[in-house]
Structure 1
């Protein structure tokens, strides 16, 4: 979250706006992605759902 300046990369809003926060894998684990911090990003629950559509 610190590396993202507490901002959701999907919508650009603060991660501290009262919405639930989820961790998203940039490259899915099923496609060889890892749990390393360089592959993870914090996003709002709604934004996470949008990313998986």
Structure 2
């Protein structure tokens, strides 16, 4: 099944780069949408609370070992 294109506004605001690894986000690399403030903590779906990350970078962000990566995300 085809994955939809990442949000143009969100991707453009990030300069098409993943803020974790600073590499380009493309259809080939894939992406996940990360909520800066978790939904369970009251975070919403507004663009200011969202960031696109590579799937592996997103997993690292949520792992115990990656606590230092989370600054600002």
TM-score w.r.t. the length of structure 2 is 0.68
Alignment match, 2:23: 13
What's the Cα RMSD here? 1.2
Higher share of residues assigned helix: 2
DSSP-derived class of the 2:12 partner: coil
Q: Answer with 16-25 or 36-45: which moved more.
A: 16-25
Greater than 4 Å deviation, 4+ residue runs: none
- Corresponding pairs, count: 53
Radius of gyration: which is bigger? 2
User: Which consecutive unaligned segments of at least 5 residues does structure 2 have?
Assistant: 1-10, 64-73
Higher share of residues assigned strand: 1
TM-score w.r.t. the length of structure 1 is 0.91
User: Which consecutive unaligned segments of at least 5 residues does structure 1 have?
Assistant: none
Residue 26, structure 1, aligned to residue 36, structure 2: yes
